[in-house]
Amino acid sequence: MSLPKVLRVSKSGRESYHHGDLEAALVDAAIELVRKTGPGHLSLRAVAEQVGVSPSAVYHYFPDKDALVSHVGDKLFVDLADMQREALAKIPGKSARAARLRYRELGRTYFRWAYKEPNLFRLMFGGFCKIEKEGLHIEDEAFQMLTQCLDDLLATGLISPEMRQYGELISWSSVQGASNLIVEGHLPPDVFESLLDGLELAMIGRKK
Amino acid sequence: MSLPKVLRVSKSGRESYHHGDLEAALVDAAIELVRKTGPGHLSLRAVAEQVGVSPSAVYHYFPDKDALVSHVGDKLFVDLADMQREALAKIPGKSARAARLRYRELGRTYFRWAYKEPNLFRLMFGGFCKIEKEGLHIEDEAFQMLTQCLDDLLATGLISPEMRQYGELISWSSVQGASNLIVEGHLPPDVFESLLDGLELAMIGRKK
DNA sequence: CCATAATCTGAACACTATTCAGATTCCGAC
DNA sequence: GTCGGAATCTGAATAGTGTTCAGATTATGG
């Protein structure tokens, strides 16, 4: 009995009094608006209007505007992890060369995401979405991919066990920091490739 | 004829119709409020009220709220550079040991700043203050101190010339990134010292 | 000392988040 | 099927926001 509710018509102007999947629609609309306006200038009313719903309807799914923004952040982290997985899938193989390329591509994908959508990147890492989980958890899926990459580098002998233990920390921090600094205009975009060069030099030890 | 205007009394309720140094007072009040509320929830009216002035008075010094926030950012960058300079001044000397301690302390000061005042840190690097300058400039004073530190490490033979050329980029990026990730709850605070260890291992090459 | 410029106020406008009583629609039990 | 309760959404209202502008107040140079 779950026909596509979009097709039904009711007394109210819209296709259906109920929306179908309002929660997801609100998050998607919010993403679109944050992309343009930035996370600080997002309007709850504009989100509702974009979806074709009254502002108060939002409060049936989110306790307040901040909660909506927070859920937007959750979705963005999933999207980023998806991109990373796709990028890695294009460079299979157990060779040292493949491992190194994967490592670089992981950082590049991260930066490309940030540089293409500065406002979404700001939302993710600018204190707009509350992390309620505790411990080392990090953003689990993306972190696991990085761990795998580093394990591959270790297995092929490209990094030392001593260096390996700092792998996630240095990699994630420097890629995150460089992306942040470039997005905010403190560094020019072209230095990111240099960062990857320097990171390889630091971790692996020899210039290619 | 520039007596302290605070002492004078006029027809209006306040001590003086004119304020004296309203621009600086507004920036200071804004910093105080951002510290508590976060850069996104700063209220122009609250800033004016804190200073004891009407909201419209703000517009004689800043074209809009964003401009005020931007000037807050400028001041914070100066404050941070001051802290870094003070930290470096406590570790003089041309020895390799001193150079290494200075390098670490530079990063630590940066992180301490971020961790003590998350909301101010977010304002500085969250897209709230516009960088209008162009080129490599970076935040000039702090960057110069980092350059000096790295030159000292090079002079004492602790880093190779090959590594030296990536020094500013890797150092600033990773310290910025780690601070950001820790402040936003993606990493626990105690990993920052590990980052410094890893950074030394990567740049200098030997574990102390 | 006065005219002019600088500074600040008060009221207004359009917009915002949030609340809540009530209208509308869905869904399961009979 | 249909009836009643639950879920969903609306409309109006409240309090607070950034911003503008005419005019009141104060400082300052000639």
Domain with B165 in it: what CATH number?
1.10.357.10
State pLDDT tens for residues A47-84.
Answer: 999 999 999 999 999 999 999 999 999 999 999 999 99
CB within 8 Å of chain A, chain B residues 148-177: 162-163, 165-166, 169-170, 172-177
Taking contacts as CB-CB distances below 8 angstroms, the residues of chain B near A185 are 130-131
Which residues from B are below 8 Å from A170, CB to CB?
A: 174, 195, 198-199, 202
DSSP A33-46: HHHHH-GGG--HHH
Identify the pLDDT of residue B5: 34
Residues of A in contact with B39 (CB under 8 A): 40
On whether residue A126 sits in a domain, the answer given is yes
| pLDDT attached to residue B94 | 95
> In the predicted model, what is the mean pLDDT of residues B17-46?
94
In a domain, A165, yes or no: yes
Contact between A28 and A36 under an 8 Å Cβ cutoff? The reply is no
- Predicted local distance difference test score (pLDDT) of residue B206: 64
> pLDDT for B71-104, tens place per residue?
999 999 999 999 999 999 999 999 999 999 999 9
d(CA A37, CA A120): 10
Q: How far apart are CA B114 and CA B85, in angstroms?
A: 16
Q: A140 versus A158: which is more confidently predicted?
A: A158
Domain contains B5 = no
Separation between the CA of A22 and the C1’ of C29 (whole angstroms): 28
Mean pLDDT is highest, among A11-20, A39-48, B135-144, for A39-48
Q: Does residue B4 belong to any structural domain of this protein?
A: no
The residues near B126 (Cβ < 8 Å, ≥ 6 apart) are A122, A126, A127, A184, B39
Q: Domain for residue B100, yes or no?
A: yes
> pLDDT value at position A133?
62
Chain-wide mean pLDDT for chain A? 90
Number of domains comprising chain B: 1
Q: Is residue B7 part of a domain?
A: no
Residue B136, pLDDT score: 45
Q: Which residue is nearest nucleotide C20, judged by alpha carbon to C1' distance?
A: A56
Average pLDDT, chain B: 90
Give distance CA A31 / C1' C13 (Å): 29
Whether A3 is in a domain gets the answer no
Give the closest nucleotide to A58 (alpha carbon vs C1'). D9
- Is B3 within a domain? no
Chain C positions with any atom < 7 A from a protein CB: 7-12, 15-21, 24-27
Query: pLDDT grade, residue B14 (50/70/90)?
Result: low
Chain A interface test: which of B150, B162, B176 (most A C-beta within 10 Å): B176
Range of the domain at A178: 14-203
